[in-house]
């Protein structure tokens, strides 16, 4: 299928990917503002930075779960991340044009989400400590940030492949992703800002105009998730029975494996 055919027939899934990461970024912006901006009382009430990170982590883990198991998340597969899409492409589960349009949609959706939060809060969102939610290396420097991003991306994709290739667990992949997001924000964020997602980091860099460390967040997540694909081969984690979706619902079409739900239900249209 060529680019025009892909766009004509699969545009709803592309829109859903843009919506998914856009909503994730809007939620992140609101939560980070509530927790980290001095203009809100929660920042003053909860003095411990680690506790604030944990609360942000829980909120964003739940957000990820909500998006993955939403009707639109079930239809697109809720990749929300170019590195995830490229990993599934490497597995042969996503067509080339779908891969490219998914990635474009993720970048557009994430950027629009950050711009929307900026429009709502203005300088409070743009100035430190929120700083457009930019992902930046911590005190350990950029090589530690690179290593941390690579390792958490590797862990995330290995977890996804494990759950998707175990009968009885395949529908729990989204829960596992949400749990890892919460844990990584709580414990890894001081090292790299916790991205795992080139489109997420680009969205903040585009809004703030700071591209200095973007190379970390483009390269490390991609390398980590592609490494997970290769490590999964000897571990037999690379068959991906459930296609390229984090939750393969029976009432949603799948552009990746060609599944079409029964036509006798309005929800299947």
Over the stretch 181-230, which tens digit does the pLDDT of each residue have?
999 999 999 999 999 999 999 999 999 999 999 999 999 999 999 999 99
Residue 1 lies in a domain: no
- Domains of the chain: total: 1
In this prediction, residues 130-157 reach a mean pLDDT of 98
pLDDT for 265 beyond 60: no
To the nearest 10 degrees (0 to 180), the angle between helices 198-208 and 82-90 is 150
CA R_g for the chain: 18
Residue 94, Ramachandran bin (φ over 0: left; ψ between -120 and 50: alpha; else beta): beta
Query: Mean pLDDT, the chain, as a whole number?
Result: 93
User: Are the C-beta atoms of residues 228 and 222 closer than 8 Å to each other?
Assistant: no
Decide if pLDDT at 268 tops 70.
Answer: no
Q: Is residue 66 part of a domain?
A: yes
In a domain, 150, yes or no: yes
The yes-or-no verdict on residue 269 having pLDDT over 50 is no
- Mean pLDDT value across residues 237-252: 79
| pLDDT at 80 > cutoff 50 | yes
Would 3 be classed as within a structural domain?
A: no
CA distances from 248 to 9, 138, 181 (A): 19, 37, 21
The boundaries of the domain holding residue 90 are 8-268
pLDDT digits (tens, 9 = 90+) for 150-189: 999 999 999 999 998 888 888 999 999 999 999 999 999 9
> Is pTM, for the whole model, over 0.85?
yes
What one-character DSSP code corresponds to residue 171? G
16: CATH:
1.20.1080.10
pLDDT of 232 reads 86
Residue 235 reports pLDDT greater than 80: no
Measured distance CA(138)–CA(196) in Å, rounded: 15
Q: Which residues contact 8 (CB under 8 A, 6 or more apart)?
A: none
Please say if the pLDDT value at position 241 is more than 70.
no
Residue 2 lies in a domain: no
18 lies in some domain: yes
Residue 248, domain member (yes or no): yes
Q: 172, 152, 154, 153: which is closest to 164 by C-alpha?
A: 172
Position 122 scores a pLDDT of: 95
Q: Which residues contact 90 (CB under 8 A, 6 or more apart)?
A: 226, 229
């Amino acid at each position: 299928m060529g680019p025009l055919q892909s766009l004509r027939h699969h545009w709803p899934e592309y829109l859903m990917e843009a919506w998914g990461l856009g909503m994730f970024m809007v939620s992140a912006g609101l939560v980070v503002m509530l927790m980290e901006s001095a203009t809100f009382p929660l920042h003053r009430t909860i003095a411990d930075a680690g506790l604030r990170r944990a609360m942000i982590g829980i909120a964003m883990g739940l957000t990820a779960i909500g998006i993955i198991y939403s009707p639109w998340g079930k239809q697109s597969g809720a990749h929300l991340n170019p590195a995830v899409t490229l990993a599934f492409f490497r597995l042969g589960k996503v067509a080339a044009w779908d891969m490219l349009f998914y990635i474009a949609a993720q970048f557009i959706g994430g950027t629009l989400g950050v711009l929307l939060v900026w429009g709502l809060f203005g300088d409070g969102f743009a100035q430190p400590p929120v700083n457009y939610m930019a992902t930046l290396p911590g005190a350990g420097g950029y090589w530690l940030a690179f290593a941390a991003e690579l390792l958490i991306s590797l862990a995330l994709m290995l977890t996804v492949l494990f759950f998707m290739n175990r009968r009885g667990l395949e529908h729990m992949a989204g829960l596992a992703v949400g749990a890892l997001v919460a844990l990584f924000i709580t414990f890894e964020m001081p090292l790299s800002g916790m991205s795992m997602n080139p489109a997420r980091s680009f969205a903040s860099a585009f809004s703030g105009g700071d591209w200095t460390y973007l190379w970390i967040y483009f390269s490390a997540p991609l390398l980590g998730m592609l490494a997970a694909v290769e490590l999964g081969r000897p571990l037999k984690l690379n068959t991906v029975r459930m296609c390229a979706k984090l939750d393969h619902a029976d009432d949603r079409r799948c552009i990746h494996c060609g599944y079409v739900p029964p036509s006798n239900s309005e929800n299947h249209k």
